[in-house]
Amino acid sequence: MDTNRAQRASMAADAVRMLRVLDTQGHSLQGTEYAHRLSEEALWELYSWMTRVRLLDARLMNLQRQGRIGFYGVSTGEEAAVVGSGYALEPEDWVFPALRQGGVALMRGMPLSVYVAQCYGNALDVQKGRQMPCHYAYKRANFVAWSSCIGTQLPHAVGTAWAARFKGDPLVVLAYLGDGATSEGDFHVAMNFAGVFQVPVVFFCQNNQWAISVPFARQTASESIAIKAKAYGFEGVRVDGNDVLAVYEVTRRAVEKARGGGGPTLIEAVTYRMGGHSSSDDPTRYRDPQEVEEWQKRDPIIRFRRYLESKGLWDEKKEVQLQERLNAEISQAIREAESAPPPPLETLVEDVYAEIPPRLRRQLQEVKRFTE
């Protein structure tokens, strides 16, 4: 009984304190040996993915401002949370994303040209233009399409994890959410079900301090988001979301625990949304610029770069080569996406029905008469 009480006390403490591997200057903190689990190649790979996501976001936002795509939402400032969590998964695992996890789809094998084409909604887009731009899905990577309705993906993720447990599949489901989603009923439904049935799901909350224009201080009176897990009977962990090594380690542990039958975990990655909620938002209307300046000093890429430099894994020459290579890849992907034609008219019905109803077939033929 005393052992269980001690474990619960430790879980509650982890839900409030901030777990870190690196300080804000990129130095390893005493007693945090997590970084040594990763090879030098893996460390550079993490940095490369973070850099790729930032460059890609900047390029696609420029396309939106030029009117070449209709909508976009960047993950600038949150790259450590995205890449660190995604890096902890195995190929058989499933991902239920929210707005800013498109980089995880790329990490899991989604071709860059297909990723870009999704923002155009053309024939190269696997969703054939049926989703809003930036709402990615890629079946081969077990990366599920998401909805702009906040939190709806969470019960779906739990259902997938429950099915995996029934089938005996040794997979884990990673369910992303923002701080705003914790105020939704679907968050309670998913957390409660996951706790009762101990399904192999990891909830990963990117607490970027703003739910569009609602600050985190108006979101909850709890000490943290992570501590909410205690009420549902499982572990909550609060991690520095701008420390990619800490995010990776915390997510890796939660994934391994879930895969081994240990049940769910709620991870709160404390980070910051440097830009607007999306290309449709103007954060200067509701946000103090001094707050943004303070968080700029905690830039996750600069922080990790300093760590790599201290280990002799980064220098200016390698940085230039990396950026040139990534920008060339992005430019090629944009050219491929923009050269693709619109989706064939037939996909309006053929991708929806196994057997097309006669009325829809007649309507399709009528549309073709006016467009051919």
CATH of the domain at 137: 3.40.50.970
Tokens 């709402």 locate to 135
Whether 176 sits among the annotated catalytic residues: the reply is no
pLDDT of 113: 97
Instruction: Identify whether residues 370 and 244 lie together within a single domain.
Output: no
Task: Give yes or no for a contact between 154 and 175, defined as CB atoms under 8 angstroms apart.
Answer: yes
Residues 233-275: pLDDT tens digits?
Answer: 999 999 999 999 999 999 999 999 999 999 999 999 999 999 9
The region, left, alpha or beta by phi > 0 then psi within -120 to 50, assigned to residue 206 is beta
Instruction: Identify whether residues 169 and 22 lie together within a single domain.
Output: yes
Residues 191-224: pLDDT tens digits?
Answer: 999 999 999 999 999 999 999 999 999 999 999 9
The closest alpha carbon to 349, from 341, 340, 357, 337, belongs to: 357
Instruction: Identify whether residues 98 and 206 lie together within a single domain.
Output: yes
Catalytic residue among 100, 165, 277, 305: 277
Mean pLDDT for 142-162 is 96
Catalytic residue among 17, 27, 218, 286: 286
Task: Specify the amino acid at residue 242.
Answer: N
110/105 Cα distance (integer angstroms): 6
pLDDT higher than 90, residue 349: no
pLDDT of 350: 83
Instruction: Identify whether residues 229 and 357 lie together within a single domain.
Output: no
Q: Which residue has the higher pLDDT, 302 or 17?
A: 302
Whether 248 sits among the annotated catalytic residues: the reply is no
Instruction: Identify whether residues 86 and 137 lie together within a single domain.
Output: yes
Tokens 């936002």 locate to 61
pLDDT higher than 50, residue 154: yes
Angle at 109 between CA 105 and CA 110, to 5 degrees: 60
Residues 3-61: pLDDT tens digits?
Answer: 555 555 555 566 779 999 999 999 988 766 565 579 999 999 999 999 999 999 999 99
Name the domain count of the chain: 2
Instruction: Identify whether residues 279 and 354 lie together within a single domain.
Output: no
pLDDT of 339: 97
Instruction: Identify whether residues 42 and 165 lie together within a single domain.
Output: yes
The region, left, alpha or beta by phi > 0 then psi within -120 to 50, assigned to residue 263 is left
Q: Model-level pTM? A: 0.93
Whether 54 sits among the annotated catalytic residues: the reply is no
Report how far apart, in Å, the C-alpha atoms of 295 and of each of 27, 49, 58, 220, 272 are: 18, 21, 19, 21, 7
Report how far apart, in Å, the C-alpha atoms of 362 and of each of 346, 348, 358, 368 are: 12, 13, 6, 10
Report how far apart, in Å, the C-alpha atoms of 68 and of each of 63, 136, 169, 259, 321 are: 5, 18, 42, 43, 28
Instruction: Identify whether residues 115 and 210 lie together within a single domain.
Output: yes
Q: Which two tokens stand for residue 230?
A: 């205690």
Instruction: Identify whether residues 225 and 351 lie together within a single domain.
Output: no
pLDDT higher than 60, residue 190: yes
Catalytic residue among 273, 303, 305, 307: 273
Instruction: Identify whether residues 247 and 351 lie together within a single domain.
Output: no
Q: Which two tokens stand for residue 132?
A: 């809003």
For residue 176, the SS3 value is strand
Instruction: Identify whether residues 274 and 356 lie together within a single domain.
Output: no
- For the chain, the average pLDDT equals 93
DSSP annotation of 117 reads H
98/102 Cα distance (integer angstroms): 9
219/267 Cα distance (integer angstroms): 17
Length of the chain counted residue by residue? 372
- The four Cα atoms 155, 156, 161, 166 give a dihedral, to 10 degrees, of 100
Mean pLDDT for 342-364 is 88
100/207 Cα distance (integer angstroms): 12
pLDDT of 1: 47
The closest alpha carbon to 88, from 234, 302, 244, 275, belongs to: 244
Residues 64-110: pLDDT tens digits?
Answer: 999 999 999 999 999 999 999 999 999 999 999 998 999 999 999 99
pLDDT of 358: 93
For 53, the domain range is 2-341
Instruction: Identify whether residues 25 and 84 lie together within a single domain.
Output: yes
pLDDT of 206: 98
Q: Where are the beta strands (DSSP E) in the chain?
A: 94-96, 173-178, 201-207, 210-211, 214-215, 235-240, 265-270
pLDDT higher than 80, residue 368: yes
